[in-house]
Chain A
Amino acid sequence: MPVNYSPPPKSTPKVIVAVTLAAAAGIPFLFLGLVLLLTPVLKPATIDGLLSNAGIDPSWRTPAYVAALFVLALLMMNYGAIFSGVITWWERRVAGRIQSRIGPNRAGFGGFFIFIADAVKMLLKEDLVPADADALLFRAAPYFVVTGFALTFVVLPFGHSLVVTDLNVGVFYVTSVTALVVVGILISGWASNSKWALFGGVRAAAQVISYEIPAGVSIFVPIAMAGTLSMQGIIRAQGGLPWEWFVFRNPAALIAFFVLFTSQLAEANRTPFDLPEAESELVAGYLSEYSGFRFALFFLVEWGNIWVLSAIVTTLFLGGWQIPFVSAEYIDGLRGAGVLPSLAWWGWNAVSMAVFTAKTIALCNLVIWLRWTLPRVRVDQMMGLCWKYLVPAAFACFVFTLFWELAVSVAPRIELVSGVGFTVIAVVLAVLFARRVHQNIQAVQGEKIDLSNW
């Protein structure tokens, strides 16, 4: 019997295009809008003010706080989950372009809804626990991973005042809660009772714990420059223009930036450090035995971590949400004395959020781009890179920064000189790079074979 396949549609129906575009624009606007609206309002001081304005008895403060925490937790969890869904789509589209193929294009216009289709598929899969696995640990592992991921959103800033809470030990808090992820991965590797999973779990443990050292030490550089551990404090110590960013203000910070970025790639198990789940070596590493929702949780964290690592790097080195020519103090002054801030304050907050999101997404793209370009390093090379190069480099940067700060206190101008100098170098390199890419693309297009009449 011949099978009658329906011919593929000539073009996407207009309704689907409209729905997809609405969703593609609406989802980020909705979530970023909610973050913009809720994070400043659900602060204890604002809640207190609102309660007293409404004449509600102060004994309702505690329930209101709890409710606010729940709302914020729900918002941030969903933000992380939806972001990780959308970036899987984006990654597959980018990978398609890089590999001269189309990528997902079925669910919705440009395949945008593929992450929803994926989620539905994963939820419908059989939830399998291998017979000889340690069932309790096997089931528990994904929750460790998700917890470690979700907790980072407590201190990750989104804009000038847009942060759930500005802990005074923010940076240390991030490095410590992300360590929960490796606990989950190690548990999953052990509990699966599979040799591939064990390999992956042990690799992940060795990798993530090793790379936390250069990451932790290179974080000291912006801490030393800002004199605070608070994420918002570090951003406030920088400025909106490139030469006011920490990455260019200090030669050691430039190196520390690369050390931190590399280490974060390794901690997020991204190529070239995707050894724990190296497909061509370990089948799927610690994920080998997982299916359905648990598998989906691991993947959610893996892609969500792209935002986390990019946001951390943006915060520490790339000036965070600082708007060029507009100082943070100026926005502070706009807030006004009322319980709710003034409209201008909201507006500048929205701009600061746009700046921060743009920088973070640019870094996310870099992460994706690296993944589809580079091969994977071997496990001994991965450890060698960490302990032989990154750790000494990070320590050297830290020590250099201490002397640099002493020098800055004597001659403050050297920071500006370094900042402008490195900015110029970076711009020149970017232009050269863009030209080279343009030439390569031109060269390939000249050689393109016309397949229309092949």
Chain B
Amino acid sequence: MERLILRRVGKPEDEMLINFGPQHPSTHGVLNFLVETDGEVMKRAVPEIGYLHRALEKIGEAVSYPGFMPYTDRIDYVAAMFANEGYAIAVEKLLKLEVPPRAQWLRAISCELCRIASHLVAVGAMASDIGASTPLVHALRERETLNDLIEALCGARLTYNYHRIGGVAYDMPTGWRDRVLKYLDHFDTYIQEFDRLISFNAIYVKRLANVAVISKAAAIDYGLVGPNLRGSGMDWDVRRDAPYGAYPSFNFEVPVGRGFQGTIGDAYDRYFVRMLEMAQSSRITRQALETMPEGETMAKVPRKIKPEAGEALSRVESARGEMAYYVISDGTDKAYRVRARTGSFTAMSIIEDISPGLMVADLIALIASFDVVAPEIDR
């Protein structure tokens, strides 16, 4: 960033340096871009991150293993369930714990509902950033109902703190299964309604198709994950290719960008992969509710969690892509090191390289298509 400002000296006068953020309506949190433009066309955009850094990983070294669980919610507050799950799995690996099947199934259900909720924000905010405010409100209306369901399950609507080391906090309440199934019946038709509302709108498609194309190789090189990686045509999903929890028992497809309206890897592909993923999440949730095993929801966990010295890495498929937790234990009741690998952070790195030649309005589409969440970038 500093080098960018220094390099402004002696640059032609017709170029402009714009501080895009940190307070800007479409930076999805507190995020700053230094944008060099020649009129509407960007020379390049450099993301400046760190406005939301809260040293969460350092906090993980100061509190007990279960005590860090509420903090993981704050890593990605739009899809907090995955941050819970990743951390729980990592500590369970350290403890060599077997999680009861019912807890595994509840984890899968809660995560898939959370994925739908997160993707609804993603696609809604995308439409809002492109200039159509109605789809965002419609998506948030659906998310409210989902939040009701998750609230009935775990008592919270945003920062769930539902998963525990060794299982989940609560079993599902009476009648919850039917409510979820009833909602999913509605939701499957809602996706089509949303598609009719905005996905196939000619202006919307023109704004997103063939914009900010990321090739498969570039996506892999920059470490893009999740829908961003799949939007570039890479068929990779941790749930299927490195399965964890209950996922091996479910039947689902992994949507991959095929150039739905333009080139493979354009902003529209990243958008539409999310639309398709929501349908798959609904499918997984139905299967999980049907095949739900009976039994405990918590493994026998010692009152004071003190893993043996060692290290563990967990990988989960978060709504924003592959999320990894790396936890080192030194044998005490506090972790020696906790590290989270998040999708939004790596997505930031590619922006500088694909921004040259894009227009200022395309930068908005690009950020929105990555579905970045600012706290997940900085942690």
Contacts and interface: CB of A to CB of B under 8 A. Distances in A.
A99 B203 contact: no
Nearest to A203: B40
Contact of A283 (B24, B134, B179, B359): B24
B182 to A, nearest CB: 7
B26 A449 contact: no
A375 B193 contact: no
Contact of B127 (A274, A375, A381): A375
Contacts of B26: 280-281
A378 B361 contact: yes
Given A279-B25, A374-B203, A449-B186, A98 B134 contact: yes
Contact of B190 (A95, A278, A374, A447): A447
A280 B137 contact: no
A289 to B, nearest CB: 14
B364 A99 contact: no
Given A100-B137, A100-B141, A272-B203, A376 B130 contact: yes
Contacts of A443: 189, 193
Interface centre among A98, A100, A377 (most CB of B within 10 A): A377
A279 B361 CA distance: 11
A101 B120 CA distance: 18
Contacts of B132: 373-376
At the interface, is chain B mostly helix, strand, loop or mixed? Answer: helix
Interface in B124-164: 127-134, 137-138, 141, 145, 148
Nearest to A272: B203
A378 B198 CA distance: 16
A195 B131 contact: no
Nearest to B192: A443
B362 interface: yes
A443 B189 CA distance: 9
Interface string B323-367: 000000000000000000000000000000000000111101000
Interface in B7-62: 16, 18, 24-26, 39-40
Contacts of B133: 99, 372
Interface in B201-218: 201, 203-204, 206-207
A380 interface: yes
A449 B24 CA distance: 36
Contact of A375 (B130, B138, B145, B183): B130
Given A374-B132, A377-B207, A380-B40, A449 B145 contact: yes
A375 B182 contact: no
Contacts of A5: none
A195 B16 CA distance: 9
Contacts, number: 89
Nearest to A202: B39
B189 A447 contact: yes
A99 B206 contact: no
A100 B203 contact: no
A377 B203 contact: yes
A286 to B, nearest CB: 15
A379 B198 contact: no
Contacts of A330: none
Given A375-B201, A444-B193, A99 B137 contact: yes
A379 B196 CA distance: 25
A373 B133 CA distance: 8
At the interface, is chain A mostly helix, strand, loop or mixed? Answer: loop
Contact of A99 (B138, B186, B190): B138
Contacts of A279: 25
Given A280-B128, A377-B203, A372 B134 contact: yes
A443 B192 CA distance: 11
Interface string B209-246: 00000000000000000000000000000000000000
A454 B359 contact: no
A381 B145 contact: no
A199 B186 contact: no
B207 A378 contact: yes
B360 A280 contact: no
Contacts of B198: 375
A271 interface: yes
A373 B134 contact: yes
Nearest to A379: B40
Contact of A274 (B131, B204, B359): B131
Contacts of B186: 447, 449
A289 B96 CA distance: 60
Nearest to B196: A440
Interface string A54-85: 00000000000000000000000000000000
B168 to A, nearest CB: 23
A101 B196 CA distance: 20
A281 B364 contact: yes
A443 B18 CA distance: 47
Contacts of B182: 449
A375 B204 contact: yes
Contacts of B204: 375
A99 B130 contact: no
A445 to B, nearest CB: 12
Contacts of B131: 271-272, 274, 278, 280, 374-376
Interface centre among B39, B40, B141, B198 (most CB of A within 10 A): B40
A230 B204 CA distance: 40
Interface centre among A98, A280, A451 (most CB of B within 10 A): A280
B137 A374 contact: no
Nearest to B130: A375
Contacts of B359: 378-380
Nearest to A195: B18
A195 B360 CA distance: 13
B40 A377 contact: no
A420 B203 CA distance: 33
A440 B204 CA distance: 21
Contacts of A376: 130-132, 203, 207, 361
A4 to B, nearest CB: 24
B25 A283 contact: yes
Contacts of B138: 99-100
18 contacts: A95-B134, A100-B141, A195-B16, A196-B18, A203-B40, A274-B131, A279-B25, A280-B26, A280-B129, A281-B26, A281-B361, A374-B201, A375-B204, A376-B131, A379-B359, A447-B186, A449-B145, A454-B148
**Which 9 A-B residue pairings sit nearest by Cβ, starting from the closest?**
A376-B131, A99-B137, A375-B132, A280-B26, A375-B130, A375-B131, A280-B129, A378-B361, A375-B204
Given A99-B137, A375-B198, 20 more contacts: A95-B134, A98-B134, A195-B18, A278-B131, A279-B25, A280-B130, A283-B25, A374-B201, A375-B131, A375-B201, A375-B204, A375-B207, A376-B131, A376-B132, A377-B207, A379-B361, A380-B40, A443-B189, A443-B193, A447-B190
